[in-house]
Structure 1
Amino acid sequence: MRLTEVERGDSFRSRALIRVISLALGMRLPDAARVAFYHKDFVSPALGAWTQEVMRGPSEWSVGERELMGAMVAKWNSCPFCVGAHRAIAVRGVDPAVADACLEDHRTAPIAEPLRATLSVLETMTLHPDRLHGADMKEAMAAGATRAQLKDAAAVGALFNIITRYANALDFAIPTDPEFDKAAVMMLKRGYA
């Protein structure tokens, strides 16, 4: 259900700020940012801070790899907005052909084994959480993933299992590929908090 508040906003200041940012970008500000501006009580500063820490904080995974993980969770949750948004950010650090191959099927994509094994853990976590067991972690570690990498990936998975659901529930509008690219540049500069 698309909420009118995503378009209308809750204050003159928010609406004016969104217009200025949209003009500067040369495109409509994506709904994820609109919701963050409009509904600070819904998408609270705590969620923004958590997202910033998970996606940009210290990690053995690169920013591109974490963004690719987010896009993968979005794919498994059938969230086209988040797939497009996070793929566009991921390809700033991961070869676009590799990202696309991964989104097609991470099992056959030309990626390192620790990432492949970690994505398999995230897939189970997302699609069949009741089937996720310690053996899955041991298998990923046998493929070269570290405990720290698995912990960070689990945080990405948890975060995107929340975000994709609210993006779908609020029926976020899907930007064009060039618009996703513009927003990706902004997100890399600005971050999530």
Structure 2
Amino acid sequence: MPHIELDPQLPGIRALFAFRPETADPLGRLAEALLRGPNSLSVGERELIAAVVSKGNDCTFCSSSHGAVAAAALDDGFGVVEAAWRNVDEAPVSAKLKALLWIALAVRESGQAVTTELVEAARAEGATDVEIHDTVLIAAAFCMYNRYVDGLATVAPPVQEAYRGMGEQLLEQGYLRL
């Protein structure tokens, strides 16, 4: 049950965006820039970073919705998302993305948990300064989004299948139409 009066037909952040459109606009633009803007990391890779951070934060809505977008965008589909949720080192993704996921998980813990060793490991796998920067910013932003969604106890469907259509819609239309 949400802590404030929200549209019961809208799950997660969608209900919060409808409740406060004036804050929805900049938050949607941030998500659009981070997850869909020009980047050497694919949309699927960036969505996977968001999904892994959100899973680590136990945010059902964000991990499920961004997991669904990543699954729709990545060749290996939902299997790669589930694998990354279970164990980054065993996920069927590039060594570079694994290193970036470890940076993202460190950000989830604390910004100060991002060590020189983690950054150097990502660089050793070919990560650029922009990719490292964007990984940290995606992770930090999703810690905020996760706390926003869960801090107001928004509704989140409990089964992953409920997010498939949402993931496909977000992949196709982006975050500015929420």
TM-score above 0.5: yes
Alignment of 1:61-140 (within 5 A): 61-94=41-74, 95=76, 96-140=78-122
State which structure, 1 or 2, has the greater radius of gyration over its C-alpha atoms: 1
Q: What's the counterpart of residue 163 of structure 2?
A: 180
CA distance in 2, matches of 1:104, 1:70: 15
Q: What's the counterpart of residue 6 of structure 1?
A: 6
Query: Higher RCO, 1 or 2 (CA under 8 Å, sep at least 6)?
Result: 2
| CA shift for structure 1 position 63 | 0.9
| CA shift for structure 1 position 69 | 0.6
Output the TM-score relative to the length of structure 2: 0.89
Q: What's the counterpart of residue 50 of structure 1?
A: 30
CA distance in 2, matches of 1:52, 1:168: 21
Segments of 5+ residues of structure 2 without an aligned counterpart are none
CA distance in 1, matches of 2:11, 2:175: 13
CA distance in 1, matches of 2:92, 2:172: 28
RMSD, aligned α-carbons: 1.7
Q: What's the CA shift string for 1:80-133, capped at 9, x where partnerless?
A: 111111111110122121221111110121211000001111111111432323
Structure 2 CA distance for partners of 1:31 and 1:99, relative to 1, 3 Å: closer
| CA shift for structure 1 position 188 | 1.9
Q: What's the counterpart of residue 146 of structure 1?
A: 128
Segments of 5+ residues of structure 1 without an aligned counterpart are 9-27
Count of residue pairs the alignment pairs up: 173
Structure 2 CA distance for partners of 1:109 and 1:31, relative to 1, 3 Å: closer
